[in-house]
Structure 1
Amino acid sequence: MTLTRIALSTGVELDVQLAGAEDAPAVILLHGFPESHRTWRHIVPDLARDHRVVVPDQRGYASSSKPTAVADYTPDRIVGDLIALADALGIGRFTLVGHDWGGAVAWMAALTRPDRIERLVIVNAPHPLIFQRSLFDDADQRAASQYITRFRDTGLDQGLVGAGLERFFGSSFAHHVTKAIAGEDKAAYLDEWSQPGAMTAMLNWYRASSIVVPAPGEDPPRPAFLDAPFPPVMQRTLVVWGTGDKALLPVQLEGLDALVPDLTVTKVDAGHFVPWENPQAVIAAMRDWGI
């Protein structure tokens, strides 16, 4: 997986995996936390047969640029990187695929840049309205999302070095992926997380997010937008959902069709880290859908 360093107009440099013919239809794949381009390693070869495939290490991850301020990781900055990356490669409209935080960015990009996002594929990433609403209205989802509050604690960072990274790998990542990530892949992730400032930068995505995560039993003021009209995602959209996800519960699919008129939902046998746990199901879902 050779990476190309690309300087963007947003002021950051990203390491990017490029595959496929440059004149083929473009697809950009966005990883989530705590990953990198490796999220898609089992999926890229198939897509590259008939697509121009672009797979960045997003800002803050691996050896890509790591701005120091929390405000540098707001979703609009990340969407800005996405569009700047497409510009740098001479790509106009493209299919966008995102998992986890990459999926959150993909939802926002589809809503704010419909001129560039032609089709959307979401893999276990909640729609922003449904997710925020569920954190107020669904006790189980609220309980499952308390890790976000822990990740926002800056005191966490100092323990994420050396043996602390090993513990993090086992408890927050590999624990959910069984034996799909080991050996060379594990060593590569530990190396990426060991890059100076990487863990803080990765966690800053949570800290920069405006999502409100009430504590269990808390009754905070309800954001007005939760009960107001919300703009629809007008792109043709495929949602691939691992039904064993313990962090994002089935409530994330409820009411999604009202917000995404041209929606296909494919449920697959996997937990949260679907591209690792069941990549063939992800490929099959995308191919059946028409990619």
Structure 2
Amino acid sequence: MARVLHDVFVFTTTLVLRIRVLGYWSLVYGYCALCAAAALLKLGWNLILRPSTTFRWGIRETPPACLSDTSLGTHCYVRIKESGLRFHYVAAGERGKPLMLFLHGFPEFWFSWRHQLREFKSEFRVVAVDMRGYGESDLPSSTESYHFDYLVTDVKDIVEYLGYNRCYLVGHDWGGTIAWLFAIHYPEMVNKLIVLNCPHPSVFTDYALRHPSQLLKSSYFFFFQLPRFPELMLSINDFKALKGLFTSRSTGIGRKGRWLTAEDMEAYLYAFSQPGALTGALNYYRNVFSSFPLSQNDVKSPVLLLWGERDAFLEQEMAEACRVYIRNHFRLNIISGASHWLQQDQPDIVNTLIWTFLKEGEGHKTHRN
């Protein structure tokens, strides 16, 4: 009798789990279909209004001068033996000074940290990396290559290649997610953690599942699951949608901050017009539902979380909720009028807040040797 009850229990539990999994993926791909239908309607409307320009785009052959600005640092490359991937990074400041490592988000590359490279090179060895799939770093073609374990290991390998065993880690958007996870898995390698407009992974997961408003704001996660179509929609009309992320009234930079100059915008278009560039960036999203971390682990490093009040992609309530997962000093600064693109939108305020945080408590001078 006990055996029968045990078998019934196992069968019921397995069935419930499979139904939940089926329901989860039905929701994911059902939402994908809705997003695709909306994008197709938008594409059709563009074809009616601007048939001659809708499918106009092309590779930018010549990089703009701002990408070779020597005041930002030196362009370097490293091939990691374990993964076999080559990474591109821009470095400034004296070797031997404490390492400050910058991780960018989507759709960005090392250039998004230009204001911080200039600011912190006086007292740090500052390094802004093109993460795998971006810029001049290698672009693995399979979505499995963008699993979180690989992305976190990339950071560890780069820090060690640079000759350090600790760093001050700064991440924005996707780079913020990787920074959170790196601080969780390698706490001994993080002096201080600075995250811009990105909640702790557990906070994002819990909040999104309970708040339809955040699921709506994150609808692009579902749209990006589709093969090839998102690349098309981001690139048509000479990358109009990509430009809009940085310049539109709802999502863009510049309401109270700094506008992107024409040359700044051209730098982004140059980077993402290269063969495979959009696919590499979108593969972060295409792997997210199968590998998004649900870790409840806490962060032991001191944490500064900076948040743009006008972030169009993330609910502000998630910022305060991150406090639950911090086991050290936690400082949260919400910057009035700032957009999601915080380090480019309000660089002066961001840099000042980072300096203040660095000088608090143990401060960076404690670790200079």
**TM-score, normalised via structure 1 length:** 0.90
Distance in 2 between residues matched to 1:165 and 1:7, nearest whole Å = 33
Larger mean CA deviation between 242-251 and 93-102 belongs to 242-251
Higher helix share: 2
Distance in 2 between residues matched to 1:237 and 1:47, nearest whole Å = 18
Quote the offset at 1:44 in angstroms: 1.1
Secondary structure in structure 2 of the residue aligned to 1:205: helix
Pairing 1:7–2:79 present: yes
Pairing 1:189–2:257 present: no
2:300 corresponding residue in structure 1? 234
Q: How does 1:70-81 map to 2 (within 5 A)?
A: 70-81=143-154
Change (3 A) 1:118 1:206: same
1:199 corresponding residue in structure 2? 278
Distance in 1 between residues matched to 2:274 and 2:97, nearest whole Å = 34
Larger mean CA deviation between 203-212 and 231-240 belongs to 203-212
Pairing 1:116–2:189 present: yes
Distance in 2 between residues matched to 1:264 and 1:190, nearest whole Å = 35
1:45-90, Cα deviation, whole Å (9 max, x unpaired):
1110100111111111112100110011112111111111111111
**TM-score, normalised via structure 2 length:** 0.71
For the aligned residue pairs, the C-alpha RMSD in angstroms reads 2.0
Task: Determine if contact 2:223/2:230 at 8 Å carries over to the other structure.
Answer: no
Amino acid at match of 1:265: L
Quote the offset at 1:182 in angstroms: 3.0
Q: How does 1:124-273 map to 2 (within 5 A)?
A: 124-159=197-232, 163-175=236-248, 176-178=252-254, 180-210=259-289, 230-261=296-327, 262-269=329-336, 270-273=338-341
2:160 corresponding residue in structure 1? 87
Task: Determine if contact 2:235/2:241 at 8 Å carries over to the other structure.
Answer: no
2:111 to 38, 53, 78: 38
Amino acid at match of 1:266: N
Task: Determine if contact 2:234/2:241 at 8 Å carries over to the other structure.
Answer: no
Task: Determine if contact 2:147/2:291 at 8 Å carries over to the other structure.
Answer: no
Task: Determine if contact 2:234/2:242 at 8 Å carries over to the other structure.
Answer: no
Amino acid at match of 2:347: P
Query: How many pairs are equivalent?
Result: 278
Change (3 A) 1:251 1:191: same
Listed as ranges, the gaps of 5+ residues in structure 2 are 1-71, 360-369
Distance in 1 between residues matched to 2:118 and 2:77, nearest whole Å = 20
Amino acid at match of 1:273: W
Distance in 1 between residues matched to 2:118 and 2:282, nearest whole Å = 30
